[in-house]
Amino acid sequence: MDRRQLIKSASAFAVAGAMLTLPGLAHAQSAADAAVEAAKKYSGETLNITWEAGLQALDPLNFSGPKWEELTGVKINVVEIPISELFTKTVAEHRAGTGAYDLLNVVPAWMPDLVTAGVLEPLDSYVDQFGYRDELQDIAPTYRDNQMTYGGKIYGLPDDGDVLILYYRTDLFGDDAHQSAFKDKYGYDLAPPADWDQFYDISQYFSEAMGPDGYGSALIHSPGLVHYLYLQRFRTDGGKLFDGDMNAQVNGEIGVGVLEDMVRQLDNMPKGAASWGPIEVLNAWLAGELAMQIWWPPPGRWSAGYGADVEALSWLPKSTIAGKVGYALPPGGYPELAAGFALSVAANSEKKELAYLFAQWLNSKDISIQRVTLPYALRDPFRTSHFESEEYKALWPAAGDYLQTLQEGAETGLLDMSIIDTFAYEESLTRAIVSALAGGNAKEALDQAAGEWNDLTEEIGVDDQRAAYEDWSSKPGAYPN
Residue type, 17: G
d(CA 384, CA 372): 13
In the chain, where are the structural domains located? 3-158+342-378, 165-337
CB 416 within 8 A of CB 338: yes
Q: What is the DSSP letter of 319?
A: P
Query: Residue 253's pLDDT is what?
Result: 98
Distance CA 437, CA 429 (A): 13
CA–CA gap between residue 78 and residue 155 (Å, rounded): 21
Question: In this predicted structure, what is the pLDDT of residue 436?
Answer: 98
Q: CATH assignment of 165-337, given 3.30.70.380, 3.40.50.720, 3.40.50.2000, 3.40.190.10?
A: 3.40.190.10
What pLDDT is recorded for position 28?
60
The two domains 3-158+342-378 and 165-337 share their CATH topology (first three levels equal): yes
The Cα-based distances of 173 to 170, 183, 203, 214, 301 in angstroms read 5, 12, 12, 14, 20
The backbone torsions φ and ψ at residue 79, rounded to the nearest 5 degrees and listed phi first, read -100, 105
- C-beta of residue 370 within 8 angstroms of C-beta of residue 10: yes
Which of 252, 220, 219, 221 lies closest to 238, judged by CA?
Answer: 252
Q: Is the pTM of this model over 0.85?
A: yes
CA distances from 261 to 197, 199, 267 (A): 9, 11, 10
Separation between Cα atoms, residue 461 and residue 423, nearest integer Å: 16
Q: What is the pLDDT of residue 8?
A: 38
What secondary structure letter does DSSP report for 70? H
Q: Which amino acid is at 379?
A: R
Q: Which residues of 63-80 are buried (b: 16+ CB within 10 A; e: fewer)?
A: bbbebbeebbebebebbe
So what's the pLDDT on residue 146?
A: 86
- List average pLDDT for each run of 10 residues in the chain, which is 481 residues long: 38 37 52 98 98 95 98 98 94 95 96 94 98 96 90 95 98 98 98 98 97 95 96 98 98 98 98 96 98 97 93 92 98 96 98 98 98 93 97 97 97 94 96 98 98 98 95 92 82
Crossing angle for the helix pair 65-72 and 3-17, to the nearest 10 degrees: 30
Cα angle value 111/116/117 (rounded, 5°): 100
The superfamily (CATH) of domain 3-158+342-378 is Periplasmic binding protein-like II (3.40.190.10)
- CA distance linking residue 77 with residue 162, whole number of Å: 25
